[in-house]
Amino acid sequence: MEFVLEKAVDEGEGVRSLYFRGSVPPYKPGNFFRLHLANSEGRKMFRPYSAASHPSEPLLRFCIKNHAGDFLAVEGAQASSTPIKKNGVFSSMVWELHVGGRAEIDGPYGIFTLDPGDSERVFIAGGVGITPLRSMIMQTLLEGRNATLFHSARTLAGITCGEELMKLAKENPRLKCFHAVTREQMPISWEGIRGRINAEEISRRLGALEGKTFYICGPPEMVQGVAQGLLAAGVPKEKVKKEEWG
């Protein structure tokens, strides 16, 4: 299905939000779509991207990092097929799109979605892993549930959607946001987390972990480390849901 790029917004640290207009099919927060583009030889390639937009929003939004180590797959492969690793080819192609440019998008796909039985949700993002979590947070607030976000990046500028979600937290007392910076020296007055997010830091900020469901998305090492820490702290396995990127 063909979509048109309506706007592009630089989020900082090599991340750009792309907003596409088209006939968006029904989808759930956490779902991903496949974005198809033709390379310089005219061969169509695709890469999966989670939707940052909420289903109630008119434009389909993706937060895309332009970096080496990208993954893409050839046209005709199954949606669940393992993408082929390329050196930033596809993300560079996406970044070359101009407003008004066209792309084929199909979906939705994926099983990393919200459990309607949750009582309280905690979202833990590493870098651009915030993408599906933004949509999930929006849904959680619409349902009248409490949500907490822990978002880690190397630098404060790398907290994608950081200002947007902090503003949302100020407007909605049901949402709390905590930022973690791993490679930037922050001033003494800074109240965020210095270093990586772990179960101990989460517990220190939230108190009891009981009764909460945790949704984790980011690089494999970060996701696995946080998940293992939560399980060791007594969180039931079914209450730790994760998706690894990279």
Question: Do 135 and 220 reside in the same domain of the chain?
Answer: yes
Q: Which amino acid is at 214?
A: F
Residues facing residue 84 across a β-bridge: 72
Question: Do 8 and 124 reside in the same domain of the chain?
Answer: no
Which strand ranges, in their side-by-side order, compose the sheet holding 212-218?
A: 193-194, 175-181, 146-153, 120-126, 212-218, 240-244
Cα 12 from Cα 157, distance rounded (Å): 6
| Token pair of 183 as six digits | 């490679």
Asked if 117 contacts 145 with a C-beta cutoff of 8 angstroms, the reply is: no
Say whether 123 sits in a helix, a strand or coil: strand
Residue 115 within any structural domain of the chain = no
* Eight-state DSSP code of residue 117: T
The reported pLDDT for the residue numbered 73 is 38
Give per-10-residue mean pLDDT for the chain (246 aa): 94 89 97 91 88 97 73 39 50 87 95 95 93 96 95 80 89 93 76 83 92 95 94 96 85
Entry pTM: 0.88
Question: Do 92 and 186 reside in the same domain of the chain?
Answer: no
Question: Do 87 and 152 reside in the same domain of the chain?
Answer: no
224: domain range? 120-244
The CATH number given to whatever domain includes residue 238 is 3.40.50.80
| Token pair of 74 as six digits | 């050839």
Last residue of a domain, one of 70, 87, 109: 109
Cis peptide before 219 (omega within 30 of 0): no
Residue 161 within any structural domain of the chain = yes
Task: Report in angstroms the alpha-carbon separations of 168 from 47, 60, 132, 133, 219.
Answer: 30, 20, 16, 14, 25
Question: Do 99 and 127 reside in the same domain of the chain?
Answer: no
Residue 217 within any structural domain of the chain = yes
Residue 30 within any structural domain of the chain = yes
Question: Do 169 and 234 reside in the same domain of the chain?
Answer: yes
Cα 151 from Cα 138, distance rounded (Å): 16
Cα 106 from Cα 20, distance rounded (Å): 12
Residue 26 within any structural domain of the chain = yes
CB-based burial of residue 147 (10 Å sphere; 0-12 exposed, 13-18 middle, 19+ buried)? Answer: buried
Cα 162 from Cα 102, distance rounded (Å): 28
Last residue of a domain, one of 109, 133, 153: 109
The reported pLDDT for the residue numbered 88 is 62
Residue 104 within any structural domain of the chain = yes
Question: Do 147 and 193 reside in the same domain of the chain?
Answer: yes
Question: Do 132 and 103 reside in the same domain of the chain?
Answer: no
Which strand ranges, in their side-by-side order, compose the sheet holding 32-38?
A: 60-65, 15-21, 2-12, 102-109, 32-38, 44-50, 70-74, 84-86
Question: Do 161 and 100 reside in the same domain of the chain?
Answer: no
Closest among 29, 23, 21 to 4, alpha carbons compared: 21
Question: Do 89 and 180 reside in the same domain of the chain?
Answer: no
The reported pLDDT for the residue numbered 77 is 38
Residue 14 within any structural domain of the chain = yes
Residue 197 within any structural domain of the chain = yes
For the chain, strand residue ranges (E) read 2-12, 15-21, 32-38, 44-50, 60-65, 70-74, 84-86, 102-109, 120-126, 146-153, 175-181, 193-194, 212-218, 240-244
Which residue bears the tokens 């080819």? 89
The CATH number given to whatever domain includes residue 92 is 2.40.30.10
* Count of structural domains within the chain: 2
Question: Do 72 and 124 reside in the same domain of the chain?
Answer: no
Last residue of a domain, one of 82, 109, 136: 109
Question: Do 105 and 72 reside in the same domain of the chain?
Answer: yes
Say whether 97 sits in a helix, a strand or coil: coil
